[in-house]
């Protein structure tokens, strides 16, 4: 009796997908990969995060990443999850400098990218995580700010609404907890282990992702705080 072929999810993004800042559990995406490995019939997950990536770099590599991870001949992955945009919002050189990718370019590029990926596989998009402005600049050159992060998350949502793509906002939900600063590392940018756990809990309970994965909703009382 042959086993059913599991569907595959490609997760593309930046250091958050890579798991930077969580040396014990490997980040929210690695936690989800391990969780799904323990569930019968759950999808295979490929975390493909690259530190520093923004929209343009993800757009340049997505097709190759997807096309070489079908596992079987002539098969492509059945889904793509995008988690990027934080690096695009950063201002270069000073707090009022130019963003790495301006808002108009970000929205246009995202609309194009969503259209390209949807022609190959269903796509889903995650929102952005908080930053601590007083810790800036990052690497002595990049300035991340909460208002810019909020603006770029709204652009993510706008593009997803226009393309009828599932979107999971993160920023306001994380900021609503008084402990949110404790979920960031010393650089004020990257999540620490607890921050990654917070994102993981939200992602693994996301109805749109569970529906795509054909998994039953998790009736868990695991707290998000």
Its pTM surpasses 0.85: yes
Instruction: Report DSSP letters for 140-177, one per residue.
Output: TTEE--HHHHHHHHHHHHHHHHHHT--EE--HHHHHTS
For the chain, domains (ranges, CATH) are: 8-213 (3.40.50.1110)
| Spatial CB neighbours of 45, under 8 Å, sequence gap ≥ 6 | 8, 9, 11, 29, 32, 33, 36
Taking the chain (225 residues) in runs of 10, the rounded mean pLDDT of each run is 76 97 97 95 94 97 84 75 98 95 98 96 97 96 97 98 98 98 97 98 97 76 45
pLDDT at 156: 98
């Amino acid at each position: 009796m042959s086993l059913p072929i599991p569907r595959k999810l490609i997760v593309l993004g930046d250091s958050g997908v890579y798991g930077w800042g969580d040396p014990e559990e490997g980040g929210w995406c690695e936690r989800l990969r391990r969780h799904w490995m323990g569930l019968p019939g759950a999808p295979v997950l490929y975390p493909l995060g690259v530190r520093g990536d923004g929209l343009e770099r993800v757009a340049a590599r997505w097709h190759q990443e997807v096309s070489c991870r079908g596992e079987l001949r002539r098969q492509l992955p059945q889904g793509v999850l995008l988690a990027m945009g934080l690096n695009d919002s950063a201002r270069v050189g000073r707090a009022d400098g130019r963003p790495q990718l301006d808002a108009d370019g970000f929205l246009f590029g995202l609309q194009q990218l969503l259209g390209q990926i949807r022609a190959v596989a269903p796509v889903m998009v995650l929102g952005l995580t908080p930053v601590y402005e007083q810790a800036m600049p990052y690497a002595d050159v990049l300035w991340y700010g909460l208002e810019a992060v909020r603006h770029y998350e709204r652009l993510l949502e706008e593009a997803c609404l226009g393309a009828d793509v599932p979107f999971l906002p993160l920023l306001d939900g994380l900021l609503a907890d008084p402990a949110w600063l404790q979920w960031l590392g010393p650089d004020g940018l990257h999540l620490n282990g607890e921050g990654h756990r917070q994102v993981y809990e939200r992602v693994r309970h996301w109805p749109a992702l569970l529906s795509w994965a054909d998994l039953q909703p998790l009736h868990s009382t695991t707290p998000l705080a």
